[in-house]
Chains A and B, each alone.
Chain A
Amino acid sequence: MSALDNLRDTFRRDQVFDFMRQGTRAVAPGQLDSGSGKNILYLEDITVSFDGFKALNDLTLYIQTGELRCIIGPNGAGKSTMMDVITGKTRPDSGTCFFGQTLDLTAMSETDIAMAGIGRKFQKPTVFPEHTAFENLELAMNGPRGPWHSLFTRLSGEQTNWIEDTLATVGLLEDRHKVAGLLSHGQKQWLEIGMVLMQKPQLLLVDEPIAGMTRQEVERTGELLKSLAGKHSVVVVEHDMEFIRSIASTVTVLHQGSVLAEGTMEQVQNDPKVIEVYLGE
């Protein structure tokens, strides 16, 4: 057994090829390997088609570690499909999708992807409707996920504090014992963002976070997302240009399943191709 392990270790990719080494840090297989200043997500030549319709067409996109990236595009541009591919809900017909240097997302289950550190907020807020806001966050809390563990586990004071801190961050401390199904649409959005935060993800995928929110809530969401960037990498899909301008550093425009333009908001807005797509029709 140990001989076999030794052999495996000797022929590991990063052992054989020097350039794969991450400085002096060895990364065990199955763990996220993202050196600082490098990309955290690599989507290359991804194609997804549904009955001949190409939802994604040779999409190539890189997300840097710690950046806040906004993705815009008209309806049917493939924004949600891209999220589905990253989180394992949809399998691409071709192309590669790597999280860090080593994790091949196309070969992992939704659960494995979530545990590896990708959290997702859906377009339509999906929370656990019969559980309270507190319980929703408790269920999302980073930690062991097995049935036996959850039968015997009890919340520690530290964990309770963490949950309450997050409740405060998303402004639901007052409503923490309210059943999530009874929260307003905006509050559900916040709750779901809170759930994603409790997972302690490296990469947050946030799909239309401000739908159904009041102006004040929108502002707070923007501040929250900005404060998350740096520690986490954040990808935001939104339609609201005003909102994107207020938070974005880099904007990627998707059109018909591939990248149309990329750059700052200024550059993108003045790009003739983008103008044609948005205004030409």
Chain B
Amino acid sequence: MRDSTFKSAFSDRTAKTFMGVLLGATLVVTLLNQFFPPDSPLHVSAYTVTLLGKYLCYALLALSLDLVWGYCGILSLGHGAFFALGGYAMGMYLMRQIGDRGVYGNPELPDFMVFLNWDELPWYWQGFDQFWFAALMILLVPGLLAFVFGWLAFRSRVTGVYLSIITQALTYALMLAFFRNELGFGGNNGLTDFKELLGFSLQSDSTRVGLLIATALSLAIAFVLCRWITGSKLGRVVMAVRDAESRARFVGYRTEHYKLWIFTVSAILAGIAGALYVPQVGIINPGEFSPLNSIELVVWVAVGGRATLYGAVIGAILVNYGKTIFTGVMPEAWLFALGGLFVAVTVFLPQGLVGLVSQRWAALRKQFPPKKTNNDTLTPAEGEAP
């Protein structure tokens, strides 16, 4: 009956509205960028296009966190790690695409390896000159890390704040590791100076627009995927685990399998977000593993509203837009504003902006009930949900 399939998740109203707004806005931006000359007031600059692309990557990341936090109650404070790993996998591919156009002109080795006097490519860089391989790693590396980490954590029944702390430790440990030159990922500077992606120059406007469109499409598909998951029985079990884990166990569910499943899927989505992010900002460095990033991510989802999916997307876009404005005006105050926002949302809007809007909407509907039309005769009886 109400169990969603991937196909039905496409046609439900929320998904349609979401995709309509997202893809419509992307289309408008694309047209304004491509068909209006730079001096026209309607022109959207390449800078704005990239900025929007970045917001959508963050939105995808927020979506992935909402899946584990909002629906399964796992507050991951290390989701930035999966984002960064996906980003590094993409960065490695982009590095290999530079070829002999680097500063040192070495066709085989990226610049930083020449600088470190390395003679040959380390084994774990093999294969990254192929896009399909890099794409596979973008999914596999974050997914595998989440699987192993989750398997250990959930099997030992680590929950609540303890789990949050070890996820935080995970991303912090990865940051320290990636800062080291010996690890072979460019150390402090990370990977940068990218030239092209699949043969398209990253500097050209059309590639930037293409990346925006790719990000928007990925976000739309990820949204439908998440709608499908949360609308299926699996989604209901996951929510049951969130609300009453031991009850779920006594009913016969292996709750650790469900947590592991949703955690891994979420990490893969985060990895995809990171991979889309890197070509748009042109750099990936260990700073992306910083615990602060993961905490900011939690704030986006909290501000937007948990367990609605679109709330996370709205939160990510709004907070990051705020950040762009704010850091332009008074950069030193941004962290205070962010902290204040988090406190305010936690205290006054436990369900986020989306919760506030739907509350107001419900209140309005009560005050001004919609007029009955002939079509309304199917209204369910008192005490029965639609």
A residues whose Cβ falls under 8 Å from a Cβ of B: 87, 89, 110-111, 114-115, 119-120, 122, 126-132, 135, 138-140, 145-148, 150-155, 160, 174-175, 177-178, 195, 199
Among B52-60, B246-254, B315-323, the stretch in contact with A: B246-254
| B385 contacts the other chain (CB 8 A) | yes
- Shortest CB distance B234–A (Å): 4
- Main secondary structure, interface of B, reads helix
CB of B3 within 8 A of CB of A153, answer yes
Across the interface, A111 reaches (CB within 8 A) one of B1, B5, B254, namely: B254
Q: Which residue of A lies closest to B4 (CB)?
A: A154
CB of A111 within 8 A of CB of B240, answer no
Q: Given contacts A129-B244, A131-B240, is CB(A115)–CB(B252) below 8 Å?
A: yes
CB of A129 within 8 A of CB of B243, answer yes
Bound CA span A110–B253, Å: 9
CB of B383 within 8 A of CB of A151, answer no
CB of A132 within 8 A of CB of B249, answer no
Bound CA span A155–B240, Å: 18
CB of B233 within 8 A of CB of A138, answer yes
CB of B243 within 8 A of CB of A151, answer no
CB of A160 within 8 A of CB of B1, answer yes
Q: Which residue of A lies closest to B253 (CB)?
A: A145
CB-defined A-B contacts under 8 Å, sample of 11: A87-B250, A110-B250, A111-B249, A122-B247, A126-B246, A132-B385, A139-B237, A150-B234, A151-B234, A154-B5, A199-B251
Q: Which residue of A lies closest to B237 (CB)?
A: A150
Most A-side CB within 10 Å, residue of B236, B243, B252, B253 = B252
Bound CA span A184–B250, Å: 22
CB of A126 within 8 A of CB of B247, answer yes
- Shortest CB distance B46–A (Å): 41
* Chain A residues with CB below 8 A from B34, complex form: none
CB of A145 within 8 A of CB of B252, answer yes
* Chain A residues with CB below 8 A from B234, complex form: 147, 150-151
| B384 contacts the other chain (CB 8 A) | yes
- Shortest CB distance B323–A (Å): 33
Q: Which residue of B lies closest to A135 (CB)?
A: B236
CB of B244 within 8 A of CB of A126, answer yes
Bound CA span A129–B232, Å: 18
Bound CA span A151–B232, Å: 6
| B258 contacts the other chain (CB 8 A) | yes
* Chain A residues with CB below 8 A from B248, complex form: 128, 139
- Shortest CB distance A26–B (Å): 25
Q: Which residue of B lies closest to A126 (CB)?
A: B247
| B109 contacts the other chain (CB 8 A) | no
| B151 contacts the other chain (CB 8 A) | no
* Chain B residues with CB below 8 A from A111, complex form: 249, 252-255
| B125 contacts the other chain (CB 8 A) | no
CB of A147 within 8 A of CB of B249, answer no
Q: Which residue of A lies closest to B252 (CB)?
A: A114
Q: Which residue of B lies closest to A87 (CB)?
A: B250
- Shortest CB distance A189–B (Å): 14
| B154 contacts the other chain (CB 8 A) | no
* Chain A residues with CB below 8 A from B384, complex form: 177
CB of B239 within 8 A of CB of A131, answer yes
* Chain B residues with CB below 8 A from A195, complex form: 251
